[in-house]
Amino acid sequence: MERFTISLDQELAQEFDRLIAARGYRNRSEAVRDMLRGELERWRQQSDAARYCVANLSYVFNHHERALAERLTQLQHEHHDLAVSTLHAHLDHENCLESVILRGPTAAVRNFANALAAERGVRHGVLNLVAVDVDTSRHSHSHGAAAADHPYRHVHLRPKT
């Protein structure tokens, strides 16, 4: 672990201490590490340095909207290489919340999320994206007895920070 020192004026330090206490951090170092990770992630996404990602797309829609549920399902099927899983929750008699877990090339994930959120009747679409490194070595290893019998290899996705 590398250490570094920063200097803050008293007012900024006190405000920072109030923030980290409100968020439940045990110390300043944990808070600074999380803030740095967040800022680095924003920079990677703005600079297109995030080639691959995992993401969560959440949105609310009215399931009475004509054929909307079918259109959303069709879009997910058309992008089965990106859509890993979907959670569907009923909010009331008309509205549903869906959360789609995505993974793949960042540009493709963003395009899919934009297309789905642009469907007529979709409201409050939010994409939370995390850049990952992809282990492309395709090294062979087992994750238990059942995995050893699988005929294909898989890749590992590791968050960048």
Residues 56 and 131 reside in one and the same domain: yes
Q: For 29-81, what is each residue's pLDDT tens digit?
A: 999 988 888 888 777 766 666 688 899 999 999 988 889 999 999 999 999 99
- Phi, psi for 16 (deg, rounded to 5): -60, -45
User: What is d(CA 15, CA 92) in angstroms, rounded to the nearest whole number?
Assistant: 40
User: What is d(CA 88, CA 10) in angstroms, rounded to the nearest whole number?
Assistant: 48
Who has greater pLDDT, 48 or 98? 98
Residue 63's Cβ-side half-sphere holds a number of Cα atoms within 13 Å equal to 12
Q: Does 147 fall in a domain?
A: no
Q: Does 86 fall in a domain?
A: yes
Q: Is the pLDDT of residue 140 over 60?
A: no
Beta pairing, strands 83-90 & 156-159: unpaired
Arithmetic mean of pLDDT, 10-29: 92
Query: Which CATH number do you get for residue 42?
Result: 1.10.1220
Query: Which CATH number do you get for residue 112?
Result: 3.30.70.1150
- Residue 95 burial by CB count (10 A; 0-12/13-18/19+): exposed, middle or buried? middle
Number of domains in the chain: 2
Arithmetic mean of pLDDT, 150-158: 64
Residues 109 and 126 reside in one and the same domain: yes
Q: Does 159 fall in a domain?
A: no
Is there a contact between 9 and 20 (Cβ–Cβ < 8 Å)?
Answer: no
Single out the residue of 77, 134, 62 nearest to residue 105, CA to CA: 134
Domain boundaries, position 100: 52-135
Q: What is the pLDDT of residue 139?
A: 56
Both tokens assigned to 32: 């600074």
Q: What is the mean pLDDT of the chain?
A: 85
Q: Is the pLDDT of residue 141 over 70?
A: no
User: What is d(CA 60, CA 122) in angstroms, rounded to the nearest whole number?
Assistant: 6
Q: What is the pLDDT of residue 122?
A: 94
- Which of 84-93, 122-131, 146-155 is most confident? 84-93
Residues 77 and 98 reside in one and the same domain: yes
Q: What is the pLDDT of residue 137?
A: 62
